Structure 1
Amino acid sequence: MKIVIAGGSGFIGKKLSKLLLDEGHYIKILTRKAKQSSGNVQYIQWLDGAASPEKEIGDTDVVINLTGVSINDGRWSEKHKKQIYHSRMEATDELLRIISLLPKKPSVFINASAIGIYPASIDAVYTEDSLDVSDDFLGKTVFDWEAKAKQVEAFGVRTVFMRFGVVLGNQGGALPLMVLPYKLFVGGTLGHGKQWVSWIHVADVVRAIHFVMNNEEIKGPVNVTAPTPVQMKDFGKEISSVLHRPHWLPVPSFAMKIVLGQKSALVLEGQHVLPQVLVENGFSFMFPSLHTALEDLLKV
């Protein structure tokens, strides 16, 4: 298949591109900087005033949008929050424009999203059927992003919103920062410890995207989380167990808020999210338990 990936050079995009290339697919990566194409990978410049990516894309079977300023980098100043929001709106608007101009429309449009759309809660359990939307910054960003992406349906294209949980990887995402205190022998529970961590191994993220791409019955929101979310206090204990480091020094909420500002919500608040759509459609997780996922990622 011919597959267009926006954000193909990022944390998830690189691993997804490798999987698709290993299967023999032809990949077209949209990039702001011109790069030399090679083999089954073609780099196409976009989001540049002089660029006309639709002329180079031609026929494509799948469009995957992973683009957006990372929520994990830097403090959430008002400027950074605007960058997080507008980078997603701008990229999705451009993909809408590109798809509208393609003579042959792709069969599926897969758009990145996040479980941050659900309100933080200790008691609630969320599936794709849940209609509650958080009224905080992340909730608004994800809600607007999905609404924008949904416009692709007007072209008769199957559209999927991949609501990523806390993606665990050893080369990006949240895990390196969560592990660092334990490596320094000062690891402990963050905040009150009851907040939920709906995590997923990055390998399963990539496999889930591939699964959805090939399953014509799946559309709309898809929770991309492992089937076994845990509370923060237990997440820390698992890191401690795998690394053979102590879990003893609690980090109070006020300290996290001083260090991280508004971004502290990423670790002090959480949602209990289940991957109902993936499970019901027969997706098999490579890493269904946190312990095996951490053992794989934190090989000591």
Structure 2
Amino acid sequence: MKIVIAGGSGFIGQKLTNFLLKKGHEIIILTRKAHMPSGKATYVNWLTEGASPEDEIRSADAFINLAGVSINQGRWNRSHQEQIYDSRMMATKELIRIINRLKKRPSVLVNASAIGVYPASQNTVYTEESREIADDFLGRTVHDWEKQAEQVEAAGIRAVFMRFGVVLGREGGALPLMVMPYKLFAGGTVGSGEQWVSWVHVMDVIRAIHFVLEKPLHGPVNVTAPAPVRMKEFGQTIGSVLHRPHWLPVPTLAMKWVLGKKSALVLEGQHVIPEVLKGEGFEFSYPLLQPTLEDLLVK
């Protein structure tokens, strides 16, 4: 399969590229960088003046869109929020333009998304059938991002929105920052501790993306492990795995002072279940939190 990846140099993108190459797929990575290291993947310039990536791609079986400014980096002031939003809208709009110019169009666009589209709640359980949209920055961003990507369906191309939960990995994602206080013997409950953490191992994210490439799915797909936990249990499990105390609470006001609006990522949460993946027979390699953390923090 010939697969085009936007955002292939990021935390998830690098792992996905290596995984797909090992599966024997032909990979094209869209990049803004003038020179990229040679390897099994092909690099094509895009989003720069004079770039015409469609002329080099010519045809593709699938597109995967992971492009966009990270929500985990920087403080969520107005400027950074605009970068997060605009980068996603611009990249997706350009992908649709490229797809429409190809001689052979792909059958599927797999578009990154986030469970932040759902409102924060301690009681509601969200599945792909849930229609509630969070009335905040992240909710609006995800909603508009999915609507932009959905436009490819007018050309008969199925669009899949991979709503990632809190992605856990050794080198990136949320885990390194969550673990740091415990390594300093200063770990404890963040905020009330009752907020949900719908987490997922990064390799299950990679496997889920590959899974939907080969299944006739479209629309939202929650990419979260089937056993979310509350923040207090999440922290206690980190402490248990690292043999560190879970004792020093982090008050809500302190998190808001340090992180500003971005504090919502850790102070609020959603209880999300991956009903579509479960219904299609996808088997998580890491369905439970403790073995997941042992894999990422001990092995």
TM-score by length of structure 1 reads 0.98
Q: Residue 253 of structure 1 aligns to which amino acid in structure 2?
A: T
- Specify the alignment match of 1:156 in structure 2: 156
CA shift in 2, pair 1:40/1:110, >3 Å: same
Question: 1:101-180 counterparts in 2 under 5 A?
Answer: 101-180=101-180
Q: Size of the alignment, in residue pairs?
A: 299
For residues 244-292 of structure 1, the C-alpha deviation after alignment (integer angstroms, 9 at most, x for no partner) is 0000000000000000000000000000000000000000000000001
Structure 2: distance between partners of 1:7 and 1:72: 15
CA contact (8 A) 1:45 1:51 kept: yes
Structure 2: distance between partners of 1:212 and 1:139: 23
Structure 2: distance between partners of 1:251 and 1:40: 46
Q: Residue 281 of structure 1 aligns to which amino acid in structure 2?
A: E
Structure 2: distance between partners of 1:193 and 1:36: 44
SS of 1:111's equivalent in the other structure is strand
**1:285 equivalenced with 2:284 (yes/no):** yes
Q: Residue 295 of structure 2 aligns to which amino acid in structure 1?
A: D
Structure 1: distance between partners of 2:3 and 2:280: 23
Shift in Å at residue 59 of structure 1?
Answer: 1.1
**1:253 equivalenced with 2:266 (yes/no):** no
- Specify the alignment match of 1:220 in structure 2: 219
CA shift in 2, pair 1:39/1:259, >3 Å: closer
**1:189 equivalenced with 2:193 (yes/no):** no
- Specify the alignment match of 1:3 in structure 2: 3
For residues 187-210 of structure 1, the C-alpha deviation after alignment (integer angstroms, 9 at most, x for no partner) is 000000000000000000000000
Shift in Å at residue 58 of structure 1?
Answer: 1.0
Structure 2: distance between partners of 1:277 and 1:223: 7
For residues 190-239 of structure 1, the C-alpha deviation after alignment (integer angstroms, 9 at most, x for no partner) is 000000000000000000000001112x1100000000000000000000
CA contact (8 A) 1:186 1:249 kept: yes
Structure 1: distance between partners of 2:245 and 2:41: 45
CA contact (8 A) 1:34 1:44 kept: no
- Specify the alignment match of 1:267 in structure 2: 266
Structure 1: distance between partners of 2:37 and 2:228: 40
CA contact (8 A) 1:34 1:43 kept: no
What is the alpha-carbon root mean square deviation over aligned residues? 0.9
Q: Residue 145 of structure 1 aligns to which amino acid in structure 2?
A: W
**1:20 equivalenced with 2:20 (yes/no):** yes
Structure 2: distance between partners of 1:3 and 1:205: 17
CA shift in 2, pair 1:42/1:112, >3 Å: same
Q: Residue 117 of structure 1 aligns to which amino acid in structure 2?
A: V
Q: Residue 86 of structure 2 aligns to which amino acid in structure 1?
A: H
Shift in Å at residue 164 of structure 1?
Answer: 0.2
Structure 2: distance between partners of 1:97 and 1:135: 29
In structure 1, the gaps of 5 or more residues are none
Select between 88-97 and 99-108 the one with higher mean Cα deviation: 99-108
Select between 148-157 and 31-40 the one with higher mean Cα deviation: 31-40
Structure 2: distance between partners of 1:201 and 1:89: 27
In structure 2, the gaps of 5 or more residues are none
- Specify the alignment match of 1:89 in structure 2: 89
TM-score by length of structure 2 reads 0.99
Shift in Å at residue 105 of structure 1?
Answer: 1.1
Shift in Å at residue 39 of structure 1?
Answer: 4.6
Structure 1: distance between partners of 2:37 and 2:84: 29
Q: Residue 118 of structure 1 aligns to which amino acid in structure 2?
A: Y
Question: 1:68-79 counterparts in 2 under 5 A?
Answer: 68-79=68-79
Shift in Å at residue 36 of structure 1?
Answer: 4.4
- Specify the alignment match of 1:32 in structure 2: 32
SS of 1:249's equivalent in the other structure is coil
Structure 1: distance between partners of 2:37 and 2:193: 47
Q: Matched residues, percent identical?
A: 67
CA contact (8 A) 1:89 1:145 kept: yes
